[in-house]
Structure 1
Amino acid sequence: MYLDTHLVLKWLHIIAMAYWLGGEWGVFNASRPIVDSSLSLDERRRHMETAYRIDIIPRTGIILLLPLGLHLGHNLGVQPLGGPWLVGMWIFVAFWVALALSAFFKRGTDIGIRLTKIDESIRYVVIPALFFTGVYSLITGGPLTAYWYAAKATLFSGLLIIGLILRFVMRDWVMAFRQLISGGPNPAIEARLTTIMAFSRKLAYVYWAGIITMAFLGTVKPF
């Protein structure tokens, strides 16, 4: 039986997008009770654990979208880097996924926080690289030779920024709960959690709109 590898990559790309969008909705809803100070601390921690367990799926999907999108783009002839470069990208992303999974399994510990910070530092390189390549291509027509693909890369970089901010929020949850456990009730920490959560919920709507737009660009290829 012959399998078209391009179609397999396209299938994986769709799955990653679906889990990204759906998973973020799950995290959004699971996070609501985390800032509810009327609940016991144990109950709130259970909801935080649920949010973390859901979040690892979209977090992994986001990382995998990078090599999947670049590979599909090369197959379509809209981005020039293939061959050994793509192999290197897949190896790099395998390391990145392993790092994200390790941070997940070590969550709530000092090691987990350090691993999360390394994960975040990778994004500091990937985000500007995607953004400037996308914008440059939109202006000049290259190296990303299709405008829909360049727009998608630019938008993806913006969504990674939002995702990074939301990662900061989740890291703050861990730090705040560690302080509440060790020091007892603290109105200042509770107020900070409420403020951060209100901001992140508004940001989530922008996030979802961006993910939907990315899916539209990749499917319809309007320009």
Structure 2
Amino acid sequence: MTLLTLLHLLVPIYWLGGDLGAFYSARFLIDPRRPVNERMMALTILNNIDMAPRTTLILAFPTGFTLAVMKGWLPLPHGWLALVWLAFLAWLALAWTVHLKHGPAGAAYKKVDIATRYLVLAALAGTGAAGLAGALALPLFIALKFLVLAACIAIGLIVRVQLVPLFPAIIAMKATGATPETDETIRRVLGRTTPTVQVIWVLVLVACFLGIGTPV
């Protein structure tokens, strides 16, 4: 139980820490004074650091769900735990596959990952809403944490849409060098995503507060 609690506590630590690292690395990506090779290195560092919040987002539910069952907050058979862990570890493996496979080789995996995110989003939002409405016997803080995690996934999907214009600019910068146009595109995209990501930071802190306060 202690090790599981520690693992669940490490989720927001690595989530926020990874996001802050990626946020800092982005400053070098948009710095026009730096040569392209340094800016591409910053992008590589950013992408790798970003796997910390992507990993912890996926691990947030199985660790929290297991604690809730073991502490009696969710009166479910322990057999559910194995199913939940298998499902989310499979999703985690899929997310890492998307990260490691680039271009056409990873396209199919990316589509499955996106579909999985929508499925988990719908399940979490529906369960949380049902708990708040009294249709499911859930403690208030657990129902709210379901909704918070669903919101984090939803905002993550929004960030992916906001990042779409970034990739052609990065490809152009790598192929022909930086130009005022590519620099402006990269700066504009990252400026647009920054407040969106910061909303996720707030939601993670809200989830931590709910976990500590455990309002009934």
TM-score range, shorter chain: 0.7 to 0.9
Could you tell me which residue of structure 1 aligns to residue 37 of structure 2? 42
Question: Residues of 2 paired with 1:28 and 1:114: CA distance?
Answer: 28
**Helix, strand or coil: the match of 2:61?**
helix
Letter in 2 for 1:149: I
Could you tell me which residue of structure 2 aligns to residue 98 of structure 1? 93
Q: Superposed, which structure 2 residues align to 1:15-164 within 5 Å? A: 15-107=10-102, 109-140=103-134, 142-143=136-137, 145-164=138-157
Letter in 1 for 2:133: I
The CA deviation at 1:63 is 0.6
Letter in 2 for 1:110: P
Question: Residues of 2 paired with 1:59 and 1:87: CA distance?
Answer: 22
Q: Structure 1 pair 66/18, CA: closer, same or farther in 2 (3 Å)?
A: same
- Gap runs ≥5 in structure 2: none
Question: Residues of 1 paired with 2:130 and 2:182: CA distance?
Answer: 43
Letter in 2 for 1:166: V
**Helix, strand or coil: the match of 1:222?**
coil
Alpha-carbon RMSD across the aligned residues, in angstroms, is 2.3
Question: Residues of 2 paired with 1:164 and 1:119: CA distance?
Answer: 11
Indicate if the aligned counterparts of 1:71 and 1:82 stay in contact, CA closer than 8 A.
no
The CA deviation at 1:9 is 1.4
Q: Structure 1 pair 81/177, CA: closer, same or farther in 2 (3 Å)?
A: farther
Letter in 2 for 1:116: K
Letter in 2 for 1:68: T
- Gap runs ≥5 in structure 1: 1-5
**Helix, strand or coil: the match of 2:69?**
helix
**Helix, strand or coil: the match of 1:67?**
helix
